[in-house]
A and B are shown apart, each in its own frame.
Chain A
């Protein structure tokens, strides 16, 4: 039962993280490789605020979302001036800066040793040490996040984001400031990545930079691509499928040194297969005037 609950919590965290990633990479076709950096910032803000500043759950959660949102605004303001492949490289550079800070700013982040002792959230004076209680809290946050994201996906804003992905020139000719729309898309996605990071830190009670590596970004891209970029329900199905896919391997008697890399290999092979099969239609190419 504890194991199933653990998987449910992981799926819940990834539902928020992947769906927010789907907003930029999937719906907006903006290859933001710094999404995992927003997730990391969310996690570290909660870790530091709850351990060093002894801030409560609500304030930690909001601070994580705000810091991640601020990061996205900065990222959007600079990287969105770059187009296409250059944009992806620009976001990769941002992700690398955040990763370096987490490893090397030891006085704050404690480097590769990470931050231990993150307390469980406390709601109305009750600490949610029990995973069932924590799962219920997470469930509420996941449902609220998905409802908000669904509204964004199906709103005029979502339509503009989808339209500019296909033809930015035509969208500008219809009076839409594409850069502003994309920055807003970034902001919303990053805020939810921050929320996911915060909940991750609260659940694991300990974070270090290895939880936010580039392979985590590859995993998010795999979910978005497998679920069909921009598809809200596809992303949900893909999150369940890919988070749970490697789990049966736990029951095979293999050393952990093999099991760990195999999880990443399975995800990468799934990504490769889906990209290969859908190579003609996954990502549209922008035309020129």
Chain B
């Protein structure tokens, strides 16, 4: 489904990605770990179209999307959950979900709020909000939600949008320990729906609970690509985090 080959990316003089290659099949769940500055978020930027590699390619379901802009990749099914909360804080919870659902329905069909499509979209938005227990706060501004609730809203919004590949950049960053379990439950739900998930995390235990495979990035290269159990045991992991 997703084929990443020999990605290279430079920012000024610095080489951020130095030949990253891996592939993911539909329904795969892959954890991506690595120290700060190893190129994890830049890799996600290349996959979602917010950065373009100088060399290498990205294929999604047979389409070459290496130089495709982000909105066109999203239409092809790439869903991005940002590390720094990509929700619209000034909009209500309902509007955040409606924007995602309308994106697939087309502007003309949803132009009038009393149209059948618009009413169906609102009903669907309520269903998605109920999945993350936000159906009681539909009319509230998203900016008033807690960090964990914002994260849940962002993930469920990507689900409402109809993403097939979820790029989750540190989904538990800024989330309280209690809400972390709810975020984990939602990611599990996404995986059970057969979606492909790539999760950047620092917490190997958290990654292990979701991922069948873990990629370890260091200095813009994939240095390990194995099961979470084998990655944990590998000395290289200890070395890149704590030094020799």
Contacts and interface: CB of A to CB of B under 8 A. Distances in A.
16 contacts: A151-B111, A154-B113, A156-B99, A156-B107, A162-B90, A162-B91, A163-B91, A166-B90, A170-B88, A172-B69, A173-B70, A173-B79, A173-B80, A175-B71, A177-B69, A178-B71
Contacts of B110: 155-156
A174 B74 contact: yes
Interface of A: 151, 154-157, 159-160, 162-163, 166-167, 169-178, 284, 287, 289
B90 A169 contact: no
A130 B114 CA distance: 41
B102 A156 contact: yes
A213 B225 CA distance: 63
A233 to B, nearest CB: 17
A175 B111 CA distance: 17
A160 B99 contact: yes
Q: Which 7 A-B pairs have the closest CB atoms?
A: A170-B86, A175-B74, A172-B70, A173-B80, A156-B102, A175-B75, A156-B110
Contacts of A160: 99
Q: Chain A's interface: helix, strand, loop or mixed, by majority? A: helix
Contact of A159 (B70, B71, B102, B157): B102
A160 B71 CA distance: 13
A231 to B, nearest CB: 12
Nearest to A155: B111
Nearest to B96: A163
B188 interface: no
Interface residues of B, number: 37
Interface in B92-139: 95, 98-100, 102-104, 107, 110-113
Given A173-B74, A173-B79, 10 more contacts: A155-B112, A166-B88, A169-B82, A172-B71, A173-B158, A174-B157, A175-B103, A175-B104, A176-B71, A289-B45
Contacts of A151: 111
B67 interface: no
B99 A289 contact: no
B90 A176 contact: no
B109 to A, nearest CB: 9
Contacts of A159: 91, 95, 98-99, 102
B89 interface: yes
Nearest to A159: B99
B15 interface: no
A115 to B, nearest CB: 39
B203 to A, nearest CB: 22
B87 interface: yes
Contacts of B49: 172
